[in-house]
Amino acid sequence: MALRHVLPTLVVGLGLALSIGFARAEWDPVERSISDLEAAYTAGSTSVVEVVQTYLARIAQFDQPSTSTSRYPLNSVAQINPSALADAARIDSLRAQGATTSQYPLLGVPVLVKDSYDVAGLPTRVGLSILDGANTPGGTTLTALNDAASVARLRDAGAIILGKATMSSLAWSTGGIDNAFGLVRNPYNLNRLPGGSSSGSAVSVAANLAMLSMGGETGGSIRIPSTFNALVGLKTSLGLIDPEGTWPLRSGRDVVGPMAKTVADVAIAMNALVGPSPTNPYNNTPLYPTDAPGSIRPTDYTSGLTLTALEGKVLAVPRTMMVAAGDSGFAPEGTVNDVIVSQFSAAIGVLRSRGATVIEVDVPATTTFYTTLGAATPTTVGFGYAYPTTQPGGTTPDNSWTIWATASYLNDQIIQYDDPVIRDLHEFNQWLQAGATAGAGSPLDRLGMFDSTSGTWSGVVGYIDELTHAYDAGLAAGFATSLDAQRGLQAYTSLRIDQFDGFLANPHLSDDPLTTDLDESTITHIDALVAPTYGRVMSLVPASERIPGIATGDYSGGSAYLLGRLEANILGAPAIAVPMGYFDDGTPLSLQFIGGFLQEQAILSLAYGYEQATHWRHAPNLDPFVPEIDPAGFGSVASLLMGMLGLAERPLRRRRPSTTER
């Protein structure tokens, strides 16, 4: 039986939520924070085991297709960790022995991680049905032998890994449909997609099925689902948190990071997640030439969270991120829906009322990139930094180094599962093509199609096929051994230092009398950029899955495009999405702060100031479509569940050995 269904089957079979006559734990997880949870533990009003039981019950009630009383379960949890209750009991023992949050910042905090993360003993499916066991093409699961580096740090901090969250297949899309498990619904409007690729990570926390989750981002996969689930999502600086043991879509851009209901919870998570690691593939690269990733960090990411955080700060709105629908002009990011423009204008008023100066700017790095490497016809002419080209001395940029680095990383990642069926990237590609040919997985998200005329695959399969060709040709090479990768990382690092970080530190602005009464030439620095996060509302679910009677507004204006993609995803700067209100149909929207490299603490502070001034976040109303199960008697069944699940103690931390080449 699949791990996804282990706990729900027990819940149904035992009738825990309906008939067992035990008292339920006192902990109510709805809209509670990590600080609330710690206060309840300290007061002795609940235990870690009781809290984990409560979250598992909510997952069975609201989320799992096999147990939910609704026709429309959220489908955000891919699998339950069968050791969750045993781990909770062990944390209760630690607390009884005097353990505190000063030692373990996430002591007793229930966490879900995206299914692209390795968790020891659990399959890593990456949203692909071919990795869902014996009844699928491939006939296997890639079961992790060790925890990903970030999962190990979560365990070290005392967190409980509840399980794995659903995701867009191989993180390929921003919609959030999982090829292995199907449609993931947005709890704020069940007829809309939740955003992806970290869809389950967002939905589960938004619906209070976990306190905290972990996502991954290549081009918006943390910020986009955070936006449409009224969450705080932090896209971290490139390489700051070791991504080892996770599946990237594109090496050189992918990061991992936390998603939560509050800025404070994200900051607390950062205290646990950031630290040097011997397995970090960004060690000794141009991003961190003298200091290892994670070694440059504040003592406490929560120290800047004050109600006066916005006072005296200078925030800049990039003109290229605020082109309203129907306007024309140089707008590489696309246009922004008029509803978002209106809500963002109101947000600007809040920022100013809290003491911030808000101006409009043109970011030099944006102009440079979109007139050279990022132009419709890419060129290195005028870029100003050495970058790989398609031929020696040529002017056409060559991004193949990102393909080679990803192929190298994924091949190493697959090898370490020691699986008898899929042993390397080449075999993974073979089984992926077989699965696509057989129509494997959800019909709502096919893996790809083969074009017999061109002899090429589309979609996820086409991308993996491209990586495999590089691998088979002997071109796969990680950052440490690829000269082109070194050049590419150095070029983007130089552009960021000179024309983004350098611009924020010393903007040299001219007075702009049309936008503010302030003389912009007097501004000596910019604390962060501020902009909407996404250009329009998230798409509707496929027509066949729509629920009658749920209103969905017409917000067709604006581009379906993440804003700030250059600064955050290509140049590697940190960005944080914060709730900014709701569309009329209930779908959330957000703004984001984008800061200088490694300035997570600064943008957390700004986000906190805005969050505390607005309090936009509220829980989704699940009652009409997921009726409440009578909770009488769920609570004190830990020993029964633990016995039936065969739970055994295991150490807080399991880390794979360091590799010589990542």
pLDDT at 396 over 50: yes
pLDDT digits (tens, 9 = 90+) for 432-443: 999 999 999 999
Cβ contact 183:546 at 8 Å: no
Band of the pLDDT at 556, cuts 50, 70, 90? confident
Band of the pLDDT at 291, cuts 50, 70, 90? confident
Residue 347 to residue 339: CA distance in whole angstroms: 12
Peptide bond into 201 cis (omega under 30): no
Give me the pLDDT at residue 13, please.
35
Strands of 58-175, DSSP E: 77-80, 110-114, 160-165
Tokens of 514: 């049309």
Task: Choose between 629 and 470: higher pLDDT.
Answer: 470
Residues assigned a catalytic role: 114, 197, 221
Task: Give the other-Cβ count within 10 Å of 391's Cβ.
Answer: 8
Give me the pLDDT at residue 9, please.
39
Residue 369 to residue 377: CA distance in whole angstroms: 12
Residue 54 to residue 634: CA distance in whole angstroms: 8
Supply φ then ψ for residue 246, to 5 degrees: -120, 165
**Quick check: helix, strand or coil at residue 164?**
strand
Residue type for position 600:
E
Pairing of strands 450-451, 314-318: unpaired
Band of the pLDDT at 327, cuts 50, 70, 90? low
Tokens of 444: 């709502």
Nearest CA to 428 out of 441, 437, 419, 440 is that of 419
Percent of the chain with pLDDT over 90: 81
What is the DSSP annotation of 171-204?
A: G--SS--BTTTB---BTTBTTB---SSSHHHHHH
pLDDT at 76 over 60: yes
Handedness of CA 626, 628, 629, 634 (dihedral sign): positive
Give me the pLDDT at residue 653, please.
34
Handedness of CA 559, 564, 566, 572 (dihedral sign): negative
pLDDT digits (tens, 9 = 90+) for 465-510: 999 999 999 999 999 899 999 999 999 999 999 999 999 999 999 9
Tokens of 614: 């607005």
pLDDT digits (tens, 9 = 90+) for 202-222: 999 999 999 999 999 999 999
Give me the pLDDT at residue 624, please.
65
Instruction: Work out the end-to-end distance of the chain between its first and last CA atoms, rounded to an integer number of angstroms.
Output: 35
pLDDT digits (tens, 9 = 90+) for 343-394: 999 999 999 999 999 999 999 999 999 999 999 999 999 999 999 999 999 9
- Give the residue carrying structure tokens 């991004």: 399
Per-residue exposure over 510-549, b if at least 16 CB sit within 10 Å of its own CB, e if not: eeeeeeeebebeebeebbbbbbbbbbbbbeebeeebeeee
Nearest CA to 580 out of 187, 227, 193 is that of 227
Tokens of 633: 């008697």
Cβ contact 160:657 at 8 Å: no
What is the DSSP annotation of 322-365?
A: --BTT--SS-TT--B-HHHHHHHHHHHHHHHHTT-EEEEE--HH
pLDDT digits (tens, 9 = 90+) for 564-574: 999 999 999 99
- Strand (E) or helix (H) holding 505: helix 502-505
pLDDT mean over 58-81: 90
Band of the pLDDT at 331, cuts 50, 70, 90? low
pLDDT mean over 281-303: 93
Nearest CA to 132 out of 574, 356, 336, 438 is that of 438
Task: Give the other-Cβ count within 10 Å of 505's Cβ.
Answer: 12
pLDDT at 577 over 90: yes
Give me the pLDDT at residue 554, please.
86
pLDDT at 193 over 90: yes
The torsion defined by the Cα of 90, 92, 94 and 100, in degrees rounded to 10, comes to: 140
Please list, in sequence order, all residues whose beta carbon lies within 8 angstroms of the beta carbon of residue 556, skipping any fewer than 6 positions away: 536
Band of the pLDDT at 513, cuts 50, 70, 90? confident
Band of the pLDDT at 626, cuts 50, 70, 90? low
Tokens of 132: 């869902």
Band of the pLDDT at 330, cuts 50, 70, 90? very low
What is the DSSP annotation of 436-503?
A: HHTT-S-TTS----EETTTTEE-HHHHHHHHHHHHHHTT----TTT-HHHHHHHHHHHHHHIIIIIHH
Give me the pLDDT at residue 230, please.
98
